[in-house]
Structure 1
Amino acid sequence: MGLEAKQRSDFRHFLNISTRWMDNDAYGHVNNVVYYSWFDTVVNQFLISHGVLDIENSPVIGLVIETQCNYLDSVAFPDMVTAGVSVTKLGNSSVRYEVGIFKNDATSASAQGHFVHVYVDRVHRRPTPIPDNMRALLQTIQSPSS
């Protein structure tokens, strides 16, 4: 039995991303590593654009400890993609994001997976509680079922 594709309605924040010629691999579709870049981009764009993460100065930073992706439909340049993200687990120092990649105007995901950040002190790299302003923002994209 195949994996059921998530729908756009399963996600709370979206970012439009243009594929690039260099994203295609020898098989004529976007290479798998590019999808992980899109996951990283949609999560960090959300945090940075809302002012809760300063990549150069924030005392608390998120380190990726786990990521996973299932590929359901091929994407290739010059497709446009929309990356959708929601929070499905919000712990003391960790966050699990669910991410969907939607090709052009599709309502079903072409790829989907998750991305886990553990928040650490920038200097000592030890887990630390998620700052209150970041926690409040993450709650705005938290899935109702989580």
Structure 2
Amino acid sequence: MAEYIGQFHCDRVVNDRLEALPEWRVTTNSETVAASVSRLLGGHPRERRPAVPDRWEVVTSSPTVEAVLEGAAGTGVDFRLAGGYDLGVFRYMTDQPQLLATISSAVDLPAVMGRKALCALSIKPVTVTTRHGRIVQFLKPSIAVLGSWP
């Protein structure tokens, strides 16, 4: 796996509580990468306080990102932004087995043809009704293979 220049998140911590986000949040240690992500996906780069290793953050205005998959291992997937391929490799970490299985398949299938997969990484709203009739809503990351990357 390549070394990554930033990480995608679908949540953040606010007042010591985890908060799901309807758009992607990107962290990086590079102000230049943060500015490029902001230009490509919307949002505004800001420096995180107190200083942390990935000290720049962009809460984008994009619930879906076109990504070229580079590889998947363990609980992470490495990818490049289709609209900013030369920026470098980003990472998304997940603990969802179904999403990881889909990502692994997406990486393997085009590789057989000597190509990489072009995918849409999305944060989608989900609504379910429990067996007791309670409506529960949450946000869930998903992936869809759009085709192969030239």
Shorter-chain TM-score range: under 0.3
Q: Which one has the bigger strand percentage?
A: 2
Normalising by the residue count of structure 2, what TM-score does the alignment of the two structures yield? 0.26
Normalising by the residue count of structure 1, what TM-score does the alignment of the two structures yield? 0.27
